[in-house]
Amino acid sequence: MSLQRFLQTAVSEWMNGEGPDSDIVFSSRVRLARNLRNHPFPLLATDTEADQVVQEVEQVVRSEEFQNLGRYELLKLDNLSALEKKVFVEKHLISPHLANESRNGAVVLSENEAVSIMINEEDHLRIQCLFPGFQLMETWKMADKIDDLFENSLDIAFDEKHGFLTSCPTNVGTGIRASVMMHLPALVMTQQITRILNAINQIGLVVRGIYGEGSEVAGNLFQISNQITLGHSEEEIIENLYGVTKQIIEHERAARRSLLEHNKLQFEDRLCRSYGILANARIMESKEAATRLSDLRLAVDLGLITGFSAHIINELMVLIQPGFLQMYSGKELTPEQRDARRAKLIRERLSAALES
């Protein structure tokens, strides 16, 4: 494996559009926060102490037991340019915090990019597993397996009363963040989304944008995750999120049926107009591109527009991000240049899909 392979492959396995209920649930994610007992937390660590953490984690990753899980590569962020780190953020392989604020950070990536282990982010370890579609239980099992390997080799900070100790008090306990990335355009169009999101917030779950905490919702993609990590087991947290997600899926399907039954002409017109704009526009801002691609994805999922796969649309959702646009252009671009390049890329990719 090489750095260029991770940078140049736009779509990770979790974005391939294949998985249970993948027309609504784009991905399932489980992230575990862990710290080493005998080292200061990253926010207080010196460069030497942070380097020592990277070395200890690397020893585990190089072990035979770990490599039996598959091929993994450790990359140090100091060796990446600002643009390369931005691409990794856009692919959800690292967090904005690790890219921009951590010192002596690193990331361990599996070959298929389903596993990403951030080192020296807010915590010494952020073990992240991402699976396509609605596969929360399977994602949790993989994360738990990797966690066991680290616990067997490293002295993890754990308290009998409080559980796993973390930099942020909101992660103390299980240290788990389980989430689903959901595409909910019909609930937005029928103006039901606010009511549903308010209900979600009242039962210990939180809704964020596509890049997690502090990010805006774009393209009707909502990240729904647990907020409470203390007082419940990992399985209870997963099961609660699983049950709520099943209900949201049912509401989204019902909203799609309602739009087709009661506003079919206007509904189809909106989706087809978005396709027409995507196929012909010469300038496209990122927010509009996300909205239009959301419409196209919905039209494809409902069979209203044929010739495109979910994989192609997922790929475009990544490729239109600023980092990827500049990576493929081989140079930094002004916002105006990015808008023109984004429109051109979308036109070319949709045209190529129809010809293939």
Task: Kindly list the domain boundaries of the chain, sorted by start residue.
Answer: 3-254, 264-355
pLDDT digits (tens), the chain, 356 positions: 555 555 556 666 666 667 899 999 999 999 999 999 999 999 999 999 999 999 999 999 999 999 899 899 999 999 998 998 998 998 889 999 999 988 899 999 998 899 999 999 999 999 999 999 999 999 999 999 999 999 999 999 999 888 999 998 888 899 999 999 999 999 999 999 999 989 998 888 999 876 555 556 788 999 999 988 778 889 999 999 999 999 999 999 999 999 999 989 999 999 999 999 999 999 999 999 999 999 999 999 999 998 888 888 988 888 898 988 998 888 889 999 999 999 999 999 999 888 76
CB proximity list for 226: less than 8 A, separation 6 or greater: 176, 177, 178, 179, 204, 205, 206, 237, 240, 241
Q: What is the SS3 assignment for 303?
A: coil
Residue 203 annotated in ligand binding: no
Residue 257 annotated in ligand binding: no
pTM value is 0.90
Residue 210 annotated in ligand binding: yes
Q: Output the six-digit token pair for 80.
A: 């990446």
Q: Output the six-digit token pair for 331.
A: 């140079």
* Amino acid making up residue 95: S
Distinct helix (H) and strand (E) counts, the chain: 14, 10
Neighbouring CB atoms inside 10 A of 328's CB total 13
Q: Output the six-digit token pair for 12.
A: 């990770």
Residue 343 annotated in ligand binding: no
Label residues 155-165 b or e (16+ Cβ within 10 Å = b). ebbeeeeebbb
CB proximity list for 356: less than 8 A, separation 6 or greater: none
Residue 274 annotated in ligand binding: no
Residue bearing tokens 């930099």? 167
Q: Which backbone phi and psi does 309 adopt, to 5 degrees?
A: -100, 160
CA pair distance 66, 194, nearest whole angstrom: 44
CA pair distance 334, 342, nearest whole angstrom: 12
Q: What is the SS3 assignment for 180?
A: strand
Label residues 267-288 b or e (16+ Cβ within 10 Å = b). bbebbeebbebbeebeebebeb
Residue pair 220/184 in contact by the 8 Å Cβ criterion: yes
User: Using alpha carbons only, how large is the chain's radius of gyration in Å?
Assistant: 21
DSSP state of 39: S
Residue 92 annotated in ligand binding: yes
CB proximity list for 59: less than 8 A, separation 6 or greater: 153
* Amino acid making up residue 51: D
* Amino acid making up residue 183: H
CA pair distance 342, 258, nearest whole angstrom: 33
SS3 helix, strand, coil % of the chain, rounded to 5? 50, 15, 30
In this structure, which CATH number among 2.60.120.10, 3.30.590.10, 3.40.50.970, 3.40.50.300 belongs to the domain 3-254? 3.30.590.10
Residue 180 annotated in ligand binding: yes
Residue 110 annotated in ligand binding: no
Residue 28 annotated in ligand binding: yes
CA pair distance 86, 165, nearest whole angstrom: 29
